[in-house]
Chain A
Amino acid sequence: MADNVPDFARALREGRCGISRIDLFDTTGFRSHTGGQIKHVSARGYIPREFSVKRMSRADMLSFAAALEALRDAGLYPPPEEAKDEIGVVIGGGAGGLLEAEDFYGRLLTTGRGVKFSTLSSLFCASSADRIASAFHFGGPKATFMTACSGGGTALGYARDLILNGHTSLVLAGGVEPMCRTTFAAFNALKSVAADFCRPFDKNRDGLSLGEAAAVMVLEELQHALARGAKIHGEILGYGITCDSYHMTAPDEQASGAVRSMQAALKDSGLSPDDIDYINAHGTATPVNDPMETKAIKAVFGRRAYTIPVSSTKSMHAHTLGAAGALEGIVSVLALRDGLVPPTINYQEPDPACDLDYVTTGARRATLRAVLSNSFAFGGNNTTVIFGKYSERGAANA
């Protein structure tokens, strides 16, 4: 959709679809040939010459670029010397350097030629946070979460806690997911991918569209931000993590895990369901997720469920797995900032099992105080994060 936040905000507003034919690898033999691929990724297109890009994976490059943009946007580039030692990096990871490792492994298993084990130095997803912290000489806490499709949201919550618990006052937090053959094959093998475009909440939805992204925010302790005159985009009000304990790849149709995840986030934020003005849904467009999530929203919000706008921006940026919680966190913060609910696109035919207001006719103006964003994952891992419009008097008064 975009390779910077202003363009991304514009694309969300216009309801632009970032899903297209994949040309990163050969999709012959797969059920699907489309996805949210970032076209024209180049190290030097993203990363200034003063930083080494040696052996960086696609995930490393994308996350580095997002981190750099976040630092610039926060007025922290170049990072002030005195702040460097406490700045933390927390990333929700995914396939890491698997795309590059596939080239390596394919050669190892076939011709045995051109095999360099050094390729594997960026195979694991923790590499991205290491690269960022080392390049900028950050000395704060560092961690990588990998919980399939909810890691990005968890990274934001954990980073928030690092700040509240006094471990640091500044964290780069986000998520990154690169496309690769293995992930693509995995979702194709499970028959959970859409043939062409994902259609969240639509009666004819036939699966998700896989995507890739990096999304990074600067989280900062409020007094610290005020003291340096930082521009504040929004506030993380709370988050919740639960587990289905049901099935490794299918959500619990009773929606218990999703319900408890939203309730935990509400409790953590001290908000009531009445305070939430927009729900950024997990909304993968698989046959099972969307009615399950709809049911969960009704269980948490009661009658109000029918009046809160609910949209799945995955219809535009596709399902970015490990990055999803962080990318949709940025979507949520932009919605609060701009007073604009982003739409669910590709929607044509209503499904009686999905009967909420899915914002299907384009972006909508609205006064938003708080936004709830869901991420539900394989393994039964659920994370919900609640973002608020920043106000000196506190979120509920915004």
Chain B
Amino acid sequence: MHENRHRDPARRVVVTGIGMVTPLGVGKEEFAANLFSGKTGIAPVRSFDTTSFSSHLGAEVTDFHPRDFVSVKNLRRMDKTSLFTAAAARLALQDAGLEITPDNRDRVGIVLGTAFGATDVTAQFSGTLLTQGPASVNPILVPNIVMNAPAGHASIELGFRGVNTTVTHFAVSAETAIAYAAAEIRRGTADYLLAGGADILSKFYYESLTKFRALSPQNGEEESCRPFDERRNGTIAGEGSGLVLLESLQSALARGRAPYCEVKGAGMGSSPTPPTAWPAEPSGIKKTLQRALDNASLSAGDIQAIFAVANGDKILDATEARAYEDLFAGTSPAPWITAVKGATGESFSSGGIRACALALAMEKNSLPPSAGLATPLSGLSFVQERKEIDVAMTHAALAGISFGGTYCYLIFGR
């Protein structure tokens, strides 16, 4: 059942397009320029007042003009998560040189991961209902409360009618979506699938994260996002959408497209973890990464880079680092580890944005720096802040770890 054993180009799945709407920029050129030069998208939150909250920084998408991506007709019906998704989808299709036509539209689709969905719309709708009663609610908001709204809006805006579904499993939503989409391409139920994640910052959601002590500063010190750094004290909430376009190698070759990389395998797992808590011990991560390697018919020594989940949380980062120390103890050289959330913030469905970063890293033969990481918590080979590292990768892992004890790792190959 090892998916990599299929050498048939019709059953090999490749990434031929990427699209992103992120705090580091909209579209791959701006995103790549900022990410690889070590810039950060973290700044004081502008879209709502944080005065009464214990945190004030966020990684917001700025300089995003929905009109550039979405028709006027659909624009007014769409919420922020849907706009991010539709824009990232359009960018990924453009990047892949794929036009939706009456001939291919039933074979194009999307598998979207969203960790929390439209928290802004739900708070607005429920708030009106609870304070003013049923007669006051706005029916226009209804479809956007549901987590499948972004994928639905994207399908209407872009005109694709194939496989369309939405995964919502907290911080592994996007990784699970990509794994599912790759399996669907392999199974032949679709020819082209967009896959990744989308989430937004909203006031109520941001306030809730502060109450759950998820955000920096967890210890009252300086507010910052420092993945894998000894000084880390919580994450910084972010937002955005990152989507990859998957198709079979056969299809890419027939279209004359050079893939960024290939999806080689996926592993999924769980470990008993209290609700909303990050796993405090590394067994779930180790088991799941090993499953992904097995699924790709690879071993730990084949991996040159890991796009980590670490977001500056005290527990998460320590657990993730311990897992890699154990897994790669006998591996020389050990893989490089990069953690981009000091630049992008934590959007929870971050796997989509990190998959795009991974695709770019494969293309550039270079790993992006981990903004905020200067004093590593362990001796692993971290790509630290400010400086990208040139490395020609044959294989890289995209990590997926969620609070609540869910894991999904993906292995990509050149």
Residues of A in contact with B (beta carbons under 8 Å apart):
29-30, 55, 85, 88-89, 93, 98, 101-102, 105-106, 109-110, 117, 120-122, 124-127, 129-131, 133-135, 137-148, 151, 154, 158, 161-162, 165-167, 181-182, 185-190, 240-249, 256-257, 260, 264, 268, 377-381, 383
Q: Which of B121-179 contact A (CB under 8 A)?
A: 122-123, 125-127, 129-131, 133-135, 137-139, 142-143, 145-149, 151-153, 155-156, 159-170, 172, 176
User: Which of A129, A140, A257 is close to B161, meaning CB atoms less than 8 Å apart?
Assistant: A257
Chain A residues closer than 8 Å to B130, beta-carbon distance: 102, 105-106, 109-110, 181
With both beta carbons as reference points, the residue of chain B lying nearest to A267 in the complex is identified as B189
Given A125-B168, A243-B152, A102:B126 Cβ within 8 A:
yes
Say yes or no: A127 contacts B270, CB within 8 Å: no
With both beta carbons as reference points, the residue of chain B lying nearest to A186 in the complex is identified as B142
Q: How far is the CB of B334 from chain A (nearest CB, A)?
A: 26
Chain A residues closer than 8 Å to B220, beta-carbon distance: none
User: Which of B147, B167, B404 is close to A130, meaning CB atoms less than 8 Å apart?
Assistant: B404
With the chains together, A161 CA to B35 CA distance in Å? 36
With both beta carbons as reference points, the residue of chain B lying nearest to A268 in the complex is identified as B189
Chain A residues closer than 8 Å to B322, beta-carbon distance: none
Q: How far is the CB of B89 from chain A (nearest CB, A)?
A: 12
Q: How far is the CB of A154 from chain B (nearest CB, A)?
A: 5
B77 within 8 A of A: yes
Given A140-B268, A148-B146, A380:B129 Cβ within 8 A:
no
Say yes or no: A182 contacts B129, CB within 8 Å: yes
Say yes or no: B156 contacts A248, CB within 8 Å: yes
Residues of B in contact with A (beta carbons under 8 Å apart):
1-3, 77, 105-106, 109, 115-117, 122-123, 125-127, 129-131, 133-135, 137-139, 142-143, 145-149, 151-153, 155-156, 159-170, 172, 176, 180, 183, 187, 189, 208, 211-212, 266-276, 284, 287, 291, 295, 404-406, 408
Chain A residues closer than 8 Å to B187, beta-carbon distance: 161
Chain A residues closer than 8 Å to B267, beta-carbon distance: 167
Q: How far is the CB of A64 from chain B (nearest CB, A)?
A: 13
With both beta carbons as reference points, the residue of chain B lying nearest to A103 in the complex is identified as B130
User: Which of B105, B269, B271, B275 is close to A141, meaning CB atoms less than 8 Å apart?
Assistant: B269
Given A105-B126, A142-B406, A378:B152 Cβ within 8 A:
yes
Q: How far is the CB of A58 from chain B (nearest CB, A)?
A: 15
User: Which of B152, B170, B211 is close to A380, meaning CB atoms less than 8 Å apart?
Assistant: B152
Say yes or no: B268 contacts A145, CB within 8 Å: no
Say yes or no: B165 contacts A381, CB within 8 Å: yes
Say yes or no: A380 contacts B156, CB within 8 Å: yes
With both beta carbons as reference points, the residue of chain B lying nearest to A133 in the complex is identified as B270
Given A143-B268, A379-B152, A126:B287 Cβ within 8 A:
no
Say yes or no: B152 contacts A146, CB within 8 Å: no
User: Which of B164, B168, B274, B275 is close to A144, meaning CB atoms less than 8 Å apart?
Assistant: B168
With the chains together, A248 CA to B11 CA distance in Å? 33
Say yes or no: A120 contacts B208, CB within 8 Å: yes
Chain B residues closer than 8 Å to A190, beta-carbon distance: 139, 142
With the chains together, A240 CA to B187 CA distance in Å? 12
Chain B residues closer than 8 Å to A145, beta-carbon distance: 165-168
Say yes or no: B183 contacts A143, CB within 8 Å: no
The list of the 7 closest CB pairs from A to B, nearest first, reads A166-B1, A379-B152, A141-B268, A243-B164, A117-B211, A248-B143, A130-B404
Say yes or no: B106 contacts A260, CB within 8 Å: yes
With the chains together, A124 CA to B276 CA distance in Å? 10
Q: How far is the CB of B273 from chain A (nearest CB, A)?
A: 6
User: Which of B161, B268, B274 is close to A256, meaning CB atoms less than 8 Å apart?
Assistant: B161
With the chains together, A314 CA to B164 CA distance in Å? 24
With the chains together, A243 CA to B156 CA distance in Å? 9
Say yes or no: B168 contacts A93, CB within 8 Å: yes
User: Which of B146, B160, B291 is close to A379, meaning CB atoms less than 8 Å apart?
Assistant: B146
Chain B residues closer than 8 Å to A151, beta-carbon distance: 148
Say yes or no: B284 contacts A147, CB within 8 Å: no
Say yes or no: B166 contacts A89, CB within 8 Å: no
Chain B residues closer than 8 Å to A120, beta-carbon distance: 208, 212
Say yes or no: A139 contacts B126, CB within 8 Å: no
Given A117-B212, A125-B168, A248-B149, A139:B275 Cβ within 8 A:
no
With the chains together, A246 CA to B155 CA distance in Å? 8
Q: How far is the CB of A170 from chain B (nearest CB, A)?
A: 13
Q: How far is the CB of A140 from chain B (nearest CB, A)?
A: 6
User: Which of B3, B139, B284 is close to A165, meaning CB atoms less than 8 Å apart?
Assistant: B3
Q: How far is the CB of B383 from chain A (nearest CB, A)?
A: 30
Say yes or no: A242 contacts B161, CB within 8 Å: yes
Given A143-B167, A161-B187, A165-B183, A134:B405 Cβ within 8 A:
yes
User: Which of B2, B109, B271 is close to A166, meaning CB atoms less than 8 Å apart?
Assistant: B2
Chain B residues closer than 8 Å to A264, beta-carbon distance: 189
Say yes or no: A241 contacts B165, CB within 8 Å: yes
Beyond A243-B160, A247-B156, A248-B156, 15 extra complex contacts between A and B, CB < 8 Å: A106-B131, A117-B208, A124-B115, A134-B272, A143-B268, A145-B168, A147-B164, A158-B180, A185-B125, A186-B125, A190-B139, A243-B151, A257-B161, A378-B152, A379-B166
Say yes or no: B168 contacts A146, CB within 8 Å: yes
With the chains together, A110 CA to B295 CA distance in Å? 52
With the chains together, A28 CA to B269 CA distance in Å? 45
Chain B residues closer than 8 Å to A30, beta-carbon distance: 134
With the chains together, A268 CA to B272 CA distance in Å? 35
With the chains together, A187 CA to B125 CA distance in Å? 12
Chain B residues closer than 8 Å to A248, beta-carbon distance: 77, 143, 149, 152-153, 156
Given A146-B147, A189-B142, A29:B134 Cβ within 8 A:
yes
Q: How far is the CB of B146 from chain A (nearest CB, A)?
A: 5
With the chains together, A23 CA to B39 CA distance in Å? 55
Chain A residues closer than 8 Å to B146, beta-carbon distance: 146-148, 378-379
With both beta carbons as reference points, the residue of chain B lying nearest to A85 in the complex is identified as B287
Chain B residues closer than 8 Å to A185, beta-carbon distance: 125, 129, 134, 137
With the chains together, A133 CA to B106 CA distance in Å? 36
Say yes or no: A147 contacts B268, CB within 8 Å: no
With both beta carbons as reference points, the residue of chain A lying nearest to B158 in the complex is identified as A245
Show 11 A/B contacts (Cβ-Cβ < 8 Å), sorted by A.
Answer: A98-B126, A109-B127, A126-B168, A147-B166, A166-B2, A181-B129, A182-B145, A186-B125, A189-B138, A248-B149, A379-B146
